[in-house]
Structures are given as C-alpha cells and as structure tokens.
Amino acid sequence: MSDQTIRIGLIGAGGNTRSRHIPGFREQSNIEVVAVANRTRASGQQVADEFGIPTVYDNWQDLLADPNIDAVCIGTWPYMHRTLLIASLEAGKHVLCEARMAMDLGEAQEMLAASQEHPTLVAQIVPAPHTLAFDRTIQGMIADGYIGDIITVDARIAANRAFPDAGGDVHWRQNRDLSGNNVMNMGIWYEAMMRWVGQARTVMAVGQNVVKHRIDGQGNRVAMQIPDHVDVVGQLEQGGQMRFNVSSVVGHMPSMADVHIFGTEGTIRLHQPVGGAMELSAGKRGDADLSPVAIDPAKKGGWRVEAEFCNAVRGLEPVTHTDLTTGCKYMEWTDAVTLSLRQNMAVTLPL
C-alpha cells in the first residue's frame, strides 16, 4: 500500500476528530476520508456535510463491513474503544484510536492482544500532545547527565483553574461509565513523564470529590464518582520519586502546569503560565537560577499523528506516538491510582 490511496472511515466525530484528525488526514497525499458513523445519523450527516465526506452510515458495524475502507479512526469516548478497536482489526482495518486508550488496564490488554494477533495491521493510540515540542530535548538532557541522578519529579497541574462549581451539565469525563478509571488529565501527563523518566514502581494516591454531585440534563442529582482533586506520590523504576497533583477545583492556581525534574546535579522545569505558552528552563549546580532552554529545531517535535499513522500503514515508519504497549503502561498506572484511592494503600507495579 506504499503508493495506493488509503480510504479512512470515522467512527465517532467529536471535537478532536473534527479539529485535528480530519484536517490532518487531508494534509497527507493519497488519503481519502470516505465515510463516517456517529452517535446518530443526523450528527454524522452534519460532519459529512461540513467536510465533504461522501458516505454516512447508521452504525459502526455497517462502516466496518465496507470492503472499500482500509483504515478506521475511532473518535468515541473511552467506553467504546476496546469494542471498536478489536472489531476494526477483526474486519481487517488499520486503526487509529483516540486517547485515553481504554476504560481500564484489562480492556487495554485485550486491545494489545488483538493487535498482536493481527501483526500486519497498524494499531495506534492518539498520543498526549502537550509536551511534544519539548520531549526530545528533555530526554536528551537527562540521558546526557545534565541533572545527574533523578531525585524527584514534582508536578502540579491545573485541569481547570477555577473554584468548585457544581453548575453545568455532567461532562462525560465525570462519568465513570463512559470514562472508566481515567481521572481529569492525569493520564496524559503521566504518558508524557514516562517519555522523560520512565515508569513508576509504586503508587500512593489520595483524592476527593470536592464537587460531590451535579444535576444532569434530565434534572436528576448525580453523584460524582471521579475525583476532581488528586495527589499521587511514588517511586520511579529507574530511581528517584514522583509527586504529582492534578486538580480542577483550585482557584487562583498560579500556573496551568508546573513540572520540575530535580536531580543531583541540575534541575529541569517545564512551565505553562496562566494565559501563556509552555516554556522550558534549566539550571546546573552552581547556577544562580534557572535559565531558558533554546529548543533545537531538529529536536522540536509536534503534532504529526495522522502522518505517522498513514506512514505506518504504508510501511514507511513505525508507530512511536503512541503504540499499544505504551498505552497499556499508562493505563496500568491509572488503574494503580484508582486502586490506591479506593483501598487507601500503596500499590506496587506491575499490577
């Protein structure tokens, strides 16, 4: 398929699919988005009309049965990812699946096993994109000994910079039946940190639902099952520790993201100020303070998910962002956080 047209069908066409995936596919040569199946035919037709997609299916089963479709992009919520990815592979389709990978580790492992049973088909998870511009620089600095041995990774993340507010509709990310064990944007940050410092070896988490209930679209009072404020500590597999806070209910948070990697010889900081762009700084032992780090253009990453997927289908490059093995690793940590929260105990990885 190195020079043949790749025909792509969309299952689920939410915001990310419309803003990133469809435009990203259109930038590739010999790629056609030929069909869509959304939650309703009417919503699917709206997407088709907006982007000139020729075929709208009433359901995903009919889309997968189309022999003219070579690959599928799954843009649903996590509760359908396992079902759709496995069905796509069994239908002989390459598959790009939106993050988070699955509801829990068990589902993720089933997805990985299915991909291993179909080694000629590409299976890829959409990666955490927010640190792509900095990842190779941070990886290189750590590998070159800039910070020495890791002492700790200290991260404070604002999933939403606001005081608690029980108003508004119940978002799907606040519904465990749709989102599983995924908590706020906790998973995407762990995925990014794995690129820099590897996996965690232990997890101890405490959390709370500051907003304990909301009123859904039918006027029902719904208990919030997914924490909106979480603190996680743990040991890293390669040595050192991690302290990670993520919250959607802290007003006046000083930054949207503030991550320090402290070492025996130096410090790296990735910081996103309120209303500003993410920036990287660092300092060595003996420096008065941290200084901005210039990103070598040759090492600056960026969003190229659709290009990587299409190139992988053509056999031109392997999937690196993100393969299903990596997805299982972040889902394992997510499950460990959930287990620690529920049982008030430290959890050792692997599960």
Secondary structure tally for the chain: helices H, strands E: 11, 17
- Confidence band, pLDDT 50/70/90 cuts, at residue 169: confident
- Predicted local confidence at residue 218, as pLDDT: 85
Average pLDDT over residues 59-86: 98
CB count within 10 Å of CB 178 equals 17
Average pLDDT over residues 9-31: 96
CA pair distance 81, 64, nearest whole angstrom: 14
Domain interval for residue 24: 6-128+304-322
Does the residue 1 lie in any domain?
no
Same domain, 182 and 297: yes
Report the largest interatomic distance among the alpha carbons of the chain, rounded to a whole angstrom.
Answer: 65
Same domain, 52 and 155: no
Same domain, 237 and 310: no
CATH number at residue 248: 3.30.360.10
Express the helix, strand and coil content of the chain in percent, nearest 5 each.
Answer: 35, 25, 40
Average pLDDT over residues 281-293: 98
Same domain, 31 and 104: yes
Does the residue 345 lie in any domain?
no
CA pair distance 311, 222, nearest whole angstrom: 44
Does the residue 333 lie in any domain?
no
Q: Report which residue type is found at 78.
A: P
How high does pLDDT run on average in the chain?
96
- Predicted local confidence at residue 293, as pLDDT: 98
Same domain, 283 and 147: yes
With contact defined as beta carbons under 8 Å apart, do 36 and 12 qualify? Answer: no
CA pair distance 68, 142, nearest whole angstrom: 47
With contact defined as beta carbons under 8 Å apart, do 196 and 139 qualify? Answer: yes
Does the residue 329 lie in any domain?
no
Question: What domain count does the chain have?
Answer: 2
Does the residue 330 lie in any domain?
no
The pair of three-digit structure tokens given for residue 145, joined into one six-digit string: 């000994």
Same domain, 162 and 218: yes
- Predicted local confidence at residue 103, as pLDDT: 98
Average pLDDT over residues 64-76: 98
Whether pLDDT at 1 is above 60:
no
CB-based contacts of 212, cutoff 8 Å, min separation 6: 223, 224
Nearest residue to 226 via CA among 324, 159, 127, 130: 159
Same domain, 254 and 310: no
- Predicted local confidence at residue 223, as pLDDT: 93
Does the residue 327 lie in any domain?
no
CA pair distance 203, 181, nearest whole angstrom: 15
CATH number at residue 41: 3.40.50.720
Does the residue 276 lie in any domain?
yes
Backbone phi, psi, residue 323, to 5°: -80, 165
Same domain, 123 and 51: yes
Same domain, 16 and 100: yes
pLDDT digits (tens, 9 = 90+) for 129-145: 999 999 999 999 999 99
Cα angle for residues 333, 265, 233 (degrees, 5° grid)? 25
Same domain, 12 and 69: yes
With contact defined as beta carbons under 8 Å apart, do 17 and 11 qualify? Answer: no
Helix, strand or coil, per DSSP, at residue 342: helix
CB-based contacts of 53, cutoff 8 Å, min separation 6: 10, 33, 34, 35, 36, 47
pLDDT digits (tens, 9 = 90+) for 198-236: 999 999 999 999 999 998 888 889 999 999 999 999 999
**What is the chain's length?**
351
CA pair distance 246, 84, nearest whole angstrom: 30
CB-based contacts of 72, cutoff 8 Å, min separation 6: 8, 9, 10, 11, 63, 64, 84, 88, 93, 94, 95, 96
Range list of H helices, the chain: 15-16, 22-26, 41-51, 60-64, 81-90, 105-117, 132-143, 176-179, 186-197, 305-313, 324-343
With contact defined as beta carbons under 8 Å apart, do 50 and 36 qualify? Answer: no
Same domain, 214 and 162: yes
Does the residue 331 lie in any domain?
no
The pair of three-digit structure tokens given for residue 216, joined into one six-digit string: 């859904």
Same domain, 150 and 271: yes
CB-based contacts of 154, cutoff 8 Å, min separation 6: 242, 243, 259, 260, 262
